[in-house]
A and B are shown apart, each in its own frame.
Chain A
């Protein structure tokens, strides 16, 4: 069905921000010389998200994209379709760090899971959430028995009868005494919200960097003054970590507290934060300007890496 003849196709591929020139050159070589694509567009994922956002909100001039993914979180302001390099801020906290941290604390407190990255990743996605009031949730998590609304029990997979781990619903939880059945259970209280809290306060774990709301405000403050209210009005959250329940409300609350009172703050969370840049890429490929943005194979064979360096704004 999907047999693609590379020599006739164009490809849009995303790259991280500020990759080294040696990596960019080898990307060019792989795409043009080994796969022999007809034309190539290498672009940052945030630019595709911004394109998609501007497509929906035609009136807006500026937006700021928060892309929180596996390796790290990037905060990138965009104005009139171009990213603003001076405002790019990178927080070295991503899904990888959150899962590794969760593995460590579970291994210390309950069960040795240091090898089970995939299982704990599933636990993180099923059970963790972003709290709106950190200290209040901490107090609730310390209560015993029924009053502790934060605690959840997670049944680990044993790959014979239980193929995939799941969280037990509250009615079946057993607060006193031990379980008779042979299933392995993880009891999670404060880890549920302390782990995603690292996105907002990396200093909790010792990483001396600003969290997402602070870095957002910092990045906007580095922009020219007349654009700042426009950035506050158009904050877009993308990336896998945006799927945590409560993420958008918490970002809004913190940014509202840090932003000047006369500016309006509005945070947008798309339906599918993970595929949002891809949708942007799809729209871009249908755009009439697309032909001017790509580098064709003939171009590359004539001029080499130089033409890619000039055209691609990475």
Chain B
């Protein structure tokens, strides 16, 4: 054995911070929202040299296209200052009958939730006392404490 790893149990119970359920719920919601993001960004590989030179395409009809182009972009930006969240709330408040976007959402599942280890992904049986993350074995718990547990605040 080259080095002795400090075990989790050697932490003083008084020193370990425990998150309450409201904070855990907030963390979860944050993670789920992060999953919904659209990834609008420039191609990270755009600056690499092109392998095949593409010939420039000469377009004769360029001038007529430009004449017909109306700048509608600003018009729509004026109309749609509300973003998706605001439109959703408006829909919620409106009294229209029948199913709409919000009622069409699926209900919670009748089956119990399955838990997976946050570190390796296999089915887990245990929960971290401090932050509520799941783990499957003591080794994964060690990794979790070193890397993620309470490392950032919500």
Contacts of B55 in A (CB 8 A): none
Is B35 a contact partner of A191 (Cβ separation < 8 A)? no
With a 10 A CB-CB cut-off, give which of B35, B90, B107, B147 has the most chain A CB atoms: B35
- Name 21 interchain pairs, CB-CB below 8 A, sorted by A: A22-B79, A22-B80, A26-B76, A26-B80, A74-B104, A86-B99, A90-B105, A97-B35, A97-B36, A100-B34, A108-B119, A159-B45, A160-B48, A190-B120, A203-B108, A206-B28, A209-B108, A210-B109, A210-B110, A211-B109, A214-B109
Closest to A85 in B: B99
Chain A CB within 8 A of B151 CB: no
Chain A CB within 8 A of B154 CB: no
Chain B CB within 8 A of A236 CB: no
Known contacts A85-B99, A89-B104, A204-B116, then 12 further A-B pairs from the complex at CB < 8 Å, ordered by chain A residue: A26-B79, A86-B99, A89-B105, A92-B105, A92-B106, A109-B119, A109-B121, A118-B43, A203-B113, A205-B35, A208-B109, A210-B108
Is B37 a contact partner of A18 (Cβ separation < 8 A)? no
Is A194 a contact partner of B116 (Cβ separation < 8 A)? yes
Q: Report A's interface with B, CB cutoff 8 A.
A: 17-20, 22, 26, 30, 34, 74, 85-86, 88-92, 96-97, 100-101, 104-105, 108-109, 115-118, 135, 138, 141-142, 159-160, 163, 189-191, 194, 201-211, 214-215, 218
Q: Is the interface of B mostly helix, strand, loop or mixed?
A: loop
Write the B7-35 contact mask toward A (1 if CB under 8 angstroms, else 0): 00000000000000000000010011011
Contacts of B38 in A (CB 8 A): 96
Contacts of A163 in B (CB 8 A): 51
Which size class do B's interface residues fall under?
Answer: 35 or more
Closest to A25 in B: B79
Q: Report B's interface with A, CB cutoff 8 A.
A: 28, 31-32, 34-39, 41, 43-45, 48, 51, 70, 72, 76, 79-80, 87, 90-91, 98-101, 104-111, 113-114, 116, 119-123, 147
